[in-house]
A and B are shown apart, each in its own frame.
Chain A
Amino acid sequence: MSTNLSKPAAGASGGAADLSEDTACVEGTNTEGATNIEGTADREGVARVEGAADREGATMTGAQAVIASLEAEGVELVFGYPGGQAIRMYDALYDSVRITHVLARHEQGAVHEADGYARATGKVGVVMVTSGPGATNTVTGIATAYMDSVPLVVITGQVPRAVIGTDAFQESDIVGITMPVVKHSYLLQSTEELTRTFHEAFHIAKTGRPGPVLIDVPSDLAAEDMVFHYPTAINLPSYRPTYKGNAKQVRQAAERIRRAQRPVLYVGGGAIISNAADELRELAELVQIPVVSTLMGKGAFPASHELSLGPIGMHGSKYGNMALTESDLVIACGVRFSDRVTGRLSGFAPRAQLIHIDIDPAEIGKVRDPEIPIVGDLKGILAAIVTDLRKQGFEPSTGPWVCQVSEWRERWPLYHPGLGDDPAQIVPEVVMRRLSEKLDPYSSIVVTEVGQHQMWAAQNIMREVPRSFLSSGGLGTMGFGFPAAIGAAFGCPDKTVVCVAGDGSLQMNSQEMATAAINRVPVKVLVMDNRCLGMVCQWQKLFYQGRYAHTLLSDIPDFVKLAQAYEWDAEGVSSPDQLDAALDRMLAAPGPYLLNVRIARDQNVYPMVAPGAAIDNSFGEIDVEEGAVRVARCEQEAIGGAR
């Protein structure tokens, strides 16, 4: 591990860090990690911020009020990157004993870190950056969080009010730029509205359908004196999310479920946000309803459960997709009918009636009109449905359907041990299965990047509990996974956090290796190294006659050396017999660790539903009746079929 991590005596110079020291030490001492508590205490003449309560009525600068507001919201971690227009807020943050700041190495990394922290813990992720380029660098991170409904508060420094609109140095209209990808945003106009704005921002970010909220803070306002009063109430008449489901619709839903012969629970990220795992399981078990899950819903229902049908959609299980196709009732729980899930719309659950439960009324009927819509919080609504069913007495009648689905699952499994037979090369699905077996599902979090490796992970890594599988579902952001894993590790220090990365994706935010090293975040990065942008290659192979236009990467960089340059431990494996021991070493390592697994370049993710096809029309599934080989209904056929 890094020698830079041995921290010198805190507060060595009574306030000003000695810049002649190794800069990494300076940073490690005074702004990162727990030592800043001592650092602050040692500094003379600096009022210790004890939290918001004792700041009530105190006079302070706008910048200090920003930090006091964060403390009042219970914020413990801020991910960010300073700069000229944020320097006053950073100066105030320097005094906080409650808030630890994590210095990312790129603002995009900071936002994904806060996002991973939020997904893993359910708390609001907080980001602080400077104006101009600092602010624009957050855009992809904000858009990623928006698409997946992740609560963030992003604080951006802004040029002084007097020069806004003059193209001042490092001015960018970040409120304008991010408007389509935030739940709400503020450009602070005066210190009077500062504390109310922060209180509202946190409230909006985490309630209803969560999402990112941006607060743009002009730097002159941060310098102004003000009296600190933190509001206790929220006054937002235009924002009142519906939580309780309509009683009549709940009754209708229960009634319809009672009559269902072939019901399916279609579960998404909303089930995790709503904390509805217990209620979901109760309903599934009571009525005996098979459960399919979107990428975002993975973990909401235990993978080991006999009613679990795993992932659905473009690379979903054949049995999950077939269950939807044959179903007579789909109970959609916190999902948004993504095109990656539905395939051709007319072919999605064509024989089913639909109950759609979501807290966001705009999701209901957006893609498909439900017979029974219910707006509200999934947890309470599922509980109410279960209560209704129990009250009237209920005997499951879905036995034949559950048997049928189990038969499909046995015939077309997502995985078969036979896949591991190749002695010459490491098979991607095998890597994922081995990793899955070695992880305790209750004390581990798997985070993915975006590409083939993401789909292999989703198909083969078993998850039992919510918030244990994090992936960029809606935006599909390469570069999300690694920083998000760092953020998750910050939020859940008692859990093993593994990032399953692609060699392409990892290069989008590999600078965050420094963040992990300096903060000793024991994140594990497993690189599925196929030396190509595999997912795009797969499409080129299937639909573009194998014309690999700019998708072949190379052996550069050497990821092991790259990690070592950041003082990580790292190793690479390329033959199947090395894999098990290497995974063990990775998981046993005390600090950050990179394992590069060389896999073949030409592997495809199967099964696959061609874009525009119905989801029961997949190819490449394993068929046990055909000797458990992948029924590549041949790639040629796919080329002919889709183009």
Chain B
Amino acid sequence: MRHVLSVLVENKPGVLSRVTGLISRRGFNIESLTVGPTEDATMSRVTAIVSADELAYEQITKQLHKLISVHKISDLTNDAAIERELVLFKVCAAPDRRGEIIEIANVFRAKIVDVGGSSLTIEATGDENKLRGMEDLFRAYGIKEIIRTGKIAMSRNSKEA
């Protein structure tokens, strides 16, 4: 089972490695990880996606709670959460095919950020489904490189997550 964990931590050196070390130490792979400051400068938010069964997941969150540097943990998996990721695609694009690719990008409300002799670089944000859809379409043209930021997530309700 895939879990989206949103962890509010102290904004201090070493805290990220406490969090990731604890997860990996118990044998779980982190599929995606983002860290950034929050509205409170003393706090950072770690968003991690891990696959674990229910028992293991419960153990991870309980252990994370024990870290003194961890203030709050929210599970945004089942929550009606907003998930976003930013992706850069460098797609093979001979001059005669540029039009088609730009059209696809427009459909997904993505931006062309660089035009090269034989490639286009497209910036896209969205949830996993949308980005996967784009990737599938671009594959037909040949993808030279993909860079992704990792996911961030926020609960939809007004309650602080």
Contact residue among B13, B14, B68 (Cβ-Cβ distance under 8 Å from A238)? B68
Contact residues in B for A175 (Cβ distance below 8 Å): 14
Question: Chain B CB within 10 Å — which of A179, A180, A360 has the most?
Answer: A179
Contact residues in B for A55 (Cβ distance below 8 Å): none
Chain A nearest CB from B88 CB (Å) reads 31
Given contacts A179-B21, A180-B21, contact A360 B14 (CB under 8 A): no
Cβ < 8 Å to B, chain A residues 148-201:
175-176, 179-180, 183-184, 187, 189
- Residue pair B63, A362 in contact (C-beta under 8 Å): yes
- In Å, the complex CA distance between A48 and B10 comes to 38
- In Å, the complex CA distance between A204 and B68 comes to 9
Chain B nearest CB from A362 CB (Å) reads 4
Chain B nearest CB from A157 CB (Å) reads 18
Given contacts A179-B17, A187-B14, contact A238 B59 (CB under 8 A): no
- Residue pair A366, B59 in contact (C-beta under 8 Å): yes
- Write the B86-103 contact mask toward A (1 if CB under 8 angstroms, else 0): 000000000000000000
A627 contacts partner chain B, Cβ-Cβ < 8 Å: no
- Residue pair B21, A238 in contact (C-beta under 8 Å): no
- Residue pair B59, A361 in contact (C-beta under 8 Å): no
Chain B nearest CB from A496 CB (Å) reads 38
A45 contacts partner chain B, Cβ-Cβ < 8 Å: no
Chain A residue with the shortest CB-CB distance to B21: A179
Chain A nearest CB from B53 CB (Å) reads 13
A365 contacts partner chain B, Cβ-Cβ < 8 Å: yes
- Residue pair B25, A180 in contact (C-beta under 8 Å): yes
Given contacts A361-B62, A362-B63, contact A184 B68 (CB under 8 A): yes
Cβ < 8 Å to A, chain B residues 26-63:
55, 58-59, 62-63
Contact residue among B18, B55, B62, B65 (Cβ-Cβ distance under 8 Å from A179)? B18
B159 contacts partner chain A, Cβ-Cβ < 8 Å: no
Chain A nearest CB from B129 CB (Å) reads 34
Chain A nearest CB from B23 CB (Å) reads 12
- Residue pair B13, A362 in contact (C-beta under 8 Å): no
A233 contacts partner chain B, Cβ-Cβ < 8 Å: no
Chain B residue with the shortest CB-CB distance to A366: B59
Contact residues in B for A237 (Cβ distance below 8 Å): 71
Q: Interface size of A by Cβ–Cβ distance < 8 Å? A: 18
- Residue pair B58, A176 in contact (C-beta under 8 Å): no
Contact residues in A for B70 (Cβ distance below 8 Å): 238
- Residue pair A362, B17 in contact (C-beta under 8 Å): no
- In Å, the complex CA distance between A360 and B13 comes to 26
- In Å, the complex CA distance between A223 and B96 comes to 69
Chain B nearest CB from A325 CB (Å) reads 24
Cβ < 8 Å to A, chain B residues 58-81:
58-59, 62-63, 65-72
Chain A nearest CB from B154 CB (Å) reads 21
Contact residues in B for A179 (Cβ distance below 8 Å): 14, 17-18, 21
Contact residues in B for A187 (Cβ distance below 8 Å): 13-14
- Residue pair B66, A362 in contact (C-beta under 8 Å): yes
Chain B nearest CB from A102 CB (Å) reads 29
- In Å, the complex CA distance between A361 and B66 comes to 9
- Residue pair B10, A238 in contact (C-beta under 8 Å): yes
Contact residues in A for B65 (Cβ distance below 8 Å): 361-362
Chain B residue with the shortest CB-CB distance to A204: B68
- Residue pair B66, A360 in contact (C-beta under 8 Å): yes
- Residue pair B21, A365 in contact (C-beta under 8 Å): no
- In Å, the complex CA distance between A356 and B112 comes to 59
Contact residues in A for B21 (Cβ distance below 8 Å): 179-180
- In Å, the complex CA distance between A187 and B18 comes to 13
- In Å, the complex CA distance between A427 and B70 comes to 53
- Residue pair B62, A238 in contact (C-beta under 8 Å): no
- Residue pair B59, A362 in contact (C-beta under 8 Å): yes
Contact residues in B for A204 (Cβ distance below 8 Å): 68
Chain A nearest CB from B6 CB (Å) reads 15
Chain A residue with the shortest CB-CB distance to B61: A362
Contact residues in A for B18 (Cβ distance below 8 Å): 179
Chain B nearest CB from A529 CB (Å) reads 39
- In Å, the complex CA distance between A183 and B70 comes to 13
Contact residues in A for B59 (Cβ distance below 8 Å): 362, 366
- Write the A568-581 contact mask toward B (1 if CB under 8 angstroms, else 0): 00000000000000
- Residue pair A239, B62 in contact (C-beta under 8 Å): no
A16 contacts partner chain B, Cβ-Cβ < 8 Å: no
Chain A residue with the shortest CB-CB distance to B69: A238
- In Å, the complex CA distance between A184 and B25 comes to 16
Contact residue among B25, B58, B63 (Cβ-Cβ distance under 8 Å from A365)? B58
Contact residues in B for A183 (Cβ distance below 8 Å): 68
Contact residues in A for B69 (Cβ distance below 8 Å): 184, 238
- In Å, the complex CA distance between A74 and B17 comes to 33
Contact residues in B for A189 (Cβ distance below 8 Å): 13
A236 contacts partner chain B, Cβ-Cβ < 8 Å: yes
Contact residues in B for A366 (Cβ distance below 8 Å): 59, 62
Chain B nearest CB from A32 CB (Å) reads 34
Contact residues in B for A239 (Cβ distance below 8 Å): 68
Chain A residue with the shortest CB-CB distance to B62: A362
- Measured CB to CB, the residues of A under 8 A from B are 175-176, 179-180, 183-184, 187, 189, 204, 236-239, 360-362, 365-366
4 A-B pairs with the lowest CB-CB distances in the bound complex, closest first: A362-B62, A238-B71, A184-B68, A239-B68
- Taking A176-B14, A239-B68 as given, write out 5 further A-B residue pairs in contact, using a Cβ cutoff of 8 Å, ordered by the A residue number: A179-B18, A184-B67, A204-B68, A238-B10, A366-B62
- Measured CB to CB, the residues of B under 8 A from A are 10, 13-14, 17-18, 21-22, 25, 55, 58-59, 62-63, 65-72
8 chain-A/chain-B pairs, Cβ below 8 angstroms: A176-B14, A176-B17, A180-B25, A184-B69, A238-B72, A361-B62, A365-B55, A366-B59
